[in-house]
Amino acid sequence: MTEPTESESRRRTARLLNEHPVFDGHNDLPWALRETVGYDTDRADIATDQSAVLHTDLARLRSGGVGAQFWSVYVRTDLTGDAAVSATLEQIDCVRTLTERYSDRLVPARSAADVERCRESGGLASLMGAEGGHSINCSMGTLRALYELGVRYMTLTHNDNVPWADSATDEPAAGGLTRFGEAVVREMNRLGMLVDLSHTSADTMRDALRASRAPVIFSHSSARGVCDHPRNVPDDVLRALPENGGVAMATFVPKFVLPEAAEWDRAVDAHLTGLGLHPLDGTEQGHRARAEFERENPRPVATVSNVADHLDHMRELAGIDHIGLGGDFDGTPFTTAGLDDVAGYPNLLAELLERNWSEAELAKLTWHNPLRALRDAENVAERLRRAESPSIATVEQLDGAAAD
C-alpha cells in the first residue's frame, strides 16, 4: 500500500474531523481557571486568544476539530471531606458559567443523544467528569447529587488512595477495591455514570472490571507496555476491555508517553516538594520553580510519533473499538511536541494516517467509541433502575474498621 503524503494526510484529516470530530475524555480548564484567575472569565476570556496562559480557547478547540469534551471538575486530594465536595461544586459551577457565557459554542450535554444533537447543530458538547472519589466523601447521596448536576463519569481515585480504592501513585492499602468501592461502582452503573479507571492502581482496575455491569473508561491513560508508568494501563487490562465494552483514551502528557520524560518528571516533583510546593502546583510560583529547574536540567521532549506508538499498541491489544483520546490539556505543565494545545489533534491523526490507519478506524478513535460507551452505560442504567433501589450503603457498614 502506498503511504499518503503529508499534504494528503492533512486534507483527509480535515475531512474526517468535519464528519467525526474529537470526543476528548479529559480537559482540566476549570481547574486552570480556578488556579490562575479565581474563575474570573473576564480575565481569561476563552473567546480570545489564551495561548500565553492556557492550552484551551474556543478558536483552538475549533481548529483541533473538538466536537465533544469531558471537562474535568477535578479537585486536589489535599482537599478532603466536605471541603472536597464544596470545591467540586465550585468546579461544576465553573463549567455552568462557561456554557452560559459561551452558549453559542459550548452546549451542556448529559447524554449520548445530547452529544449527537450538539454535533448536528455545530456546538461543542460539554460534559463533566469528576476526578477522584474524594469528591463524594464516601457518600452515595453525594454521588447521586453529582450525577443530578450533570457529572457523567467519576475517576475512582486521583493521585492518592481513597478509603475504598487504591491509587496508582500511592502505597496499596485496600488491595484494589473494598466492598464499599464495589458498591460505588454498582451505584454508578445504576445511575449511568461511567466508571473512570485512570489514576487507579492495576488491582483497582481489575476489581472494577469484575464489578462493573457497564463499560468503563480510562479518560486519560496510555499504555504501560510502551511507557512503564503506574498511571498507564497494563497489557492484561487492555486485553480485558473488549469483554467489558470499555474504552481506554490515550493521553498526551509527556511523562506518561516517554520513559525519559517520566524519569525527569520524578526529579521535578522532588524539587518542588523540597521547596514546599505541591507537585501539581499551577500557580505562578509553581510555574517559575519548574522553569528554573528546566533551565538547569533540559526536559526530554515527547513527540506525536511517541503518542502514536501508544495508540498502535492499544489498538493491537484492546482492538479498534476500545480506544479513544484524552489529552489532559490544562492539567499538565508540559505538553508533547505537536500536541501543544487543543489545536493539535489533526497532527496526531495525520501521523496515524501515515501509519496506514484507515479513516473508519480513526472515526472510531475520535468519536464513535466514547459515544458508544456512554450510550451503553445509559442503556445498562435504564435496565438497572427498574430492578434496583438507590444504594444506602455506607463505608462503615461495608468496610468497618478498614474505613478508619
The grid coordinates listed for 52 are: 500565553
Chain-centroid distance, C-alpha 282 = 18
The grid coordinates listed for 246 are: 470499555
HSE of 197 in the Cβ direction (CA atoms, 13 Å)? 32
Angle (CA) 306 309 314, round 5°: 135
Cβ–Cβ < 8 Å for 77, 158: yes
The grid coordinates listed for 76 are: 486536589
The grid coordinates listed for 276 are: 514546599
- Residue by residue, what is the 3-state secondary structure of 286-298? HHHHHHHHHHHCC
**Host H or E run for residue 127:** strand 124-131
Burial call 14-33: b when 16+ CB within 10 Å, e when fewer: eebbeebbbbbbbbbbbbbb
The beta strand positions in 191-232, using DSSP E, are 194-196, 216-218
DSSP 6: H
Catalytic residues: 26, 28, 131, 158, 199, 220, 328
